[in-house]
Structure 1
């Protein structure tokens, strides 16, 4: 028996959808939402009906009968902390995301849309590896300031998917390996996986800078800068106008590499500094498991760059064999996670009100 799965991943200006039959992609589409269209809605949750209808239209345009679906899966939204893996979408989850999300974000719509479609068809809907996954060990939560507790916020969906994929290459179960995964995208986060859990991370605000985020910066100088600028400007300096944009006025890694190829030494210094900081983050997390690391994985969009991954690999390969798995693969990760549930290889959790 084969399973057909609809995967949904809403972003701020688009909705990505794909249909999989078992582990094979049937089709994938990126629905772009015009800014004028989005401007009609006061809140993200108000976009539900519009995005829901556009997804159904895409299925019709591709001559796909939704009655053939075995399950629907959506990107996990900003819930209170949850465990890794699959959760069935239920009324409690939908109500939390609609009326009391931790943060208003487009990903919150995924479970709401998935639930609506599945209810109509009489099948199950799921989220998988939500951005809210938090399995940090107690010792990893201590920040150094009692007022602030470290929280887990990383590119969980792709990180766990590539960790499982590399585990097959290594020839051992994911749950028996210690793996460090660095996700290189517009933001960069790094995680350490032990016993099938992400037990510690270097998040995008406490580690390497990225194309558009400042990462870890000297605290005393940051405090001084806060007194010279308002909160909105400072938040933008950290997320949106930090990193490569701050130094090179672009977040486009390909453009930076073009400048380097043309002999721009400053661009090379900044770009290599990003690789240097990523390598430091990987080295930092290797201490969590006393250096007993089975593999280092570099993934995300920038992992397509041989220049960037080469610099990182040169610095970290002494820790463990290093694997390059480019791309974000989010829809595939959602579908394959759900497939494991449907085949009885994983069990879906029930979401309860916090």
Structure 2
């Protein structure tokens, strides 16, 4: 029997903390960062699993929440095998793959595991929604000029699809009936073309493909990148760290955090504008490229992510892409709400839950 109101516990593990929220349908009742206690941050991520779980349960109990009133737990999806978008039940196969870091090591891998552990203890179900490994790309979109290497679909699936649904609602349409181009701009930048509910092409912002971002180098000419790998004297891991964590806006402006960018924007706006001009050019070009995938039949464009908080950057992009379609701005990303909404759609049987195999 479908209820009118569902309570959903949402979990998003971060490097030094775990963000926890409790929702009643779309309304957030409680949200807080649970700072890790009695956890060695230098230890293997999987070794933190039990202590993180205990910290979350203690926090929920400390604020007087009746655990029996919680209907489901949803965790941030991690580096699983490629899957299509949607809300997935956390099953034993998913737990095994994440525990074994089947597709790489990342703190987000703990999301589904913590949700599973807590849900099992409370005798309810655990879910994940649109993890970064969502793969709905056309086969032809994966091909490169080197047959042994294919492009991978790793992007901000959760926020992109949540924005896609919000934009569809604004347009009084269904997400599954539209063709959209959505650019998520943050630590990494991904630009996806959404055709009738599926992201049929997108750049891999996790590995640095496409425009540069706050910390990633983006696509670099092959010859120069090969030369750098030999001339720099850096080991493979060092070079990867440089390209993925120490490039982009960070390198141009010699800053470390988003807060540093805010300060610099207020104190030296002209210096930041020079970098934003370059970034806007690259993002606009990526949006144009993705628009060709659907032959220019784009219903709307959206800019989202933390960098979409800067009106100057948005306007520079808009100047170059307004001829394609109307552009809508969705600053930041609401991970917790998107996870809660994905779970709610399944609980209310608006969508069918998916099984991970």
Confirm or deny: 8 A CA contact 1:73 1:335 kept in the other structure: yes
- 2:15: which partner in 1? 12
**Residue 101 (structure 1) shift:** 2.5
1:23 has 2:30 as partner: no
Gap regions ≥5 residues in structure 1: none
RMSD (Å), alpha carbons = 1.7
Question: Kindly tell me: are residues 263 and 334 of structure 1, through their superposed partners in 2, closer, same or farther at Cα, counting changes over 3 Å?
Answer: closer
Write the mapping of 1:1-354 to structure 2, written as runs, cut at 5 A.
1-33=4-36, 37-39=39-41, 41=43, 43-204=44-205, 205-228=208-231, 229-230=233-234, 231-252=236-257, 255-256=260-261, 259=264, 262=267, 265-352=270-357
For residues 261 and 125 of structure 2, the distance between their equivalents in structure 1, rounded to whole angstroms, comes to 45
TM-score, normalised to structure 2, is 0.94
Identify the range of structure 1 (129-138 vs 225-234) with the bigger mean alpha-carbon deviation. 225-234
For residues 92 and 202 of structure 1, the distance between their equivalents in structure 2, rounded to whole angstroms, comes to 28
Question: Kindly tell me: are residues 256 and 335 of structure 1, through their superposed partners in 2, closer, same or farther at Cα, counting changes over 3 Å?
Answer: closer
Describe the SS at the equivalent of 1:238.
helix
**Residue 100 (structure 1) shift:** 4.3
Describe the SS at the equivalent of 2:226.
helix
Confirm or deny: 8 A CA contact 1:211 1:251 kept in the other structure: no
**Residue 232 (structure 1) shift:** 2.5
Identify the range of structure 1 (75-84 vs 92-101) with the bigger mean alpha-carbon deviation. 92-101
Identify the range of structure 1 (252-261 vs 221-230) with the bigger mean alpha-carbon deviation. 252-261
Tell me how many residue pairs correspond in the alignment.
350
Confirm or deny: 8 A CA contact 1:44 1:106 kept in the other structure: yes
Identify the range of structure 1 (81-90 vs 268-277) with the bigger mean alpha-carbon deviation. 268-277
Confirm or deny: 8 A CA contact 1:253 1:302 kept in the other structure: no
Gap regions ≥5 residues in structure 2: none
**Residue 312 (structure 1) shift:** 1.2
TM-score, normalised to structure 1, is 0.94
Identify the range of structure 1 (244-253 vs 124-133) with the bigger mean alpha-carbon deviation. 244-253
For residues 259 and 320 of structure 2, the distance between their equivalents in structure 1, rounded to whole angstroms, comes to 22
Confirm or deny: 8 A CA contact 1:256 1:271 kept in the other structure: no
Question: Kindly tell me: are residues 206 and 39 of structure 1, through their superposed partners in 2, closer, same or farther at Cα, counting changes over 3 Å?
Answer: closer
Ranges of 4+ aligned residues in structure 1 off by more than 3 Å: 251-267
